[in-house]
Amino acid sequence: KKRVLSGIQPTHDSFHLGNYLGAIKQWAQLQEENDAFYCVVDLHALTVETDPKLLQKRTLLSAAQLIAIGLDPNKCTLFIQSHVPAHNQLAWVLECMTGFGEAGRMTQFKDKSQKGGADRTNVGLFTYPILQAADILLYQADLVPVGEDQRQHIELTRDLGQRFNNRYLEVFNIPQAQIIKALAKINDLQDPNSKMSKSAASMSGVIELLDSSDVILKKFKSSVTDAGKEIKYDEKSKPGISNLLTIHSAFSGKSITEVENEFADKGYGDFKTAVADVVNSELAPIREKTATLMQDPAELMRILEIGGEKANQVASETLKKVYEAIGLAI
């Protein structure tokens, strides 16, 4: 059995289609044959200033959505990052082994700090990938299922793990990113050249799993399309239509070519409605299940605490080896 680890930030009420197709759908599949650990990374979410009550609610909403999408707490270990103190503890050790320039080369930091402006950029955003490396290395993960935007962070994780193993002792397993190429970058419907993101300035191009069917139809209907009227996959000259084709294909289970053929003599309008339909028929039950789970927050917390105990066992074992290897007198 392989060890799988991944996480998602509770920075928004709802996950979006990119999270769903690029990451979480894989998580559900991987829990079947592997020893999978999945966490709601609430510490990472602190890089965005949030009302405390809202953060707490979003952490539960995140866990509820993960279960609604198919994560089974009896098959995988589902937990909240802050329930396992070893994440911060290992992060500090790794920070002391990371070059300043090395961290500065992370493109997510460059993008996000540019958007926020220097005044609003906190040090946590800078050290974010190192905390993420700790999340992964603590569990001796083999596979990390993520979207394309995380490739560089997983590369840093591998470098730090190898660096530690070479400098001190072979403590860490060196993980690999598991990225499904076709689904790893779902783009914003209003700006089809950039990725759909929780921290987008406007949600009008972001399909949220918890949006109502009407809102989803509206967002698809008003999505930016390209010149011409052919429904053909061409990332360069037709990024909008290509993105919609990817989404349709992921939900309908048909190949891109099959979808192109199906809509060969239809217009953009019909196609957009059809995309909304396939998406809504899969998301409607997920929305209902999420709402049902949210009616019993105490039960959700109970599930997450059980996961947290299991995670703590694995994580504290690794941390002890790390502390011994670097010469802390524990």
- Can you tell me whether residue 57 is helix, strand or coil? helix
CA-based R_g, the chain, Å = 21
Q: How far is the CB of 264 from ligand ATP (least distance, A)?
A: 27
22 binds ligand ATP (CB under 6 A): yes
Pick the catalytic residue from 25, 195, 219, 272. 195
Which listed residue (3, 14, 18, 304) binds ligand ATP by CB under 6 A?
A: 18
Joined together, the tokens standing for residue 55 give 């953060």
Is 198 annotated as catalytic? yes
Closest CB to ligand ATP among 126 and 263? Answer: 126
Interface with ligand ATP, residue 66, by CB under 6 A: no
Q: Cβ distance 143 to 3 under 8 Å? A: yes
Phi, psi of 208 (to 5 degrees): -95, 140
Q: How far apart are CA 12 and CA 25, in angstroms?
A: 19
290 binds ligand ATP (CB under 6 A): no
Which residue stretches of the chain are H helix? Answer: 17-18, 25-33, 42-45, 52-69, 86-95, 100-104, 107-116, 123-137, 151-167, 213-221, 239-252, 256-262, 268-294, 297-326
- What tokens were used for 174? 């060196």
**In degrees to the nearest 10, what's the CA dihedral of 63, 65, 66, 68?**
120
Q: Which is nearer to ligand ATP, 66 or 93 (by Cβ)?
A: 66
Which lies closer to ligand ATP via its Cβ, residue 8 or residue 61? Answer: 8
x/- string (CB under 6 A) for ligand ATP, residues 183-202? Answer: -xxx--------xxxxx---
Q: Does 36 bind ligand ATP (CB under 6 A)?
A: no
Q: Print the binding letters for residues 145-184 with ligand ATP: x by CB under 6 A, - otherwise.
A: -xx-xx---------------------------------x
Q: What does the binding site for ligand ATP look like in residue numbers (CB under 6 A)? A: 8-9, 11, 18-19, 22-23, 146-147, 149-150, 184-186, 195-199
Residues annotated as catalytic are 112, 195, 198
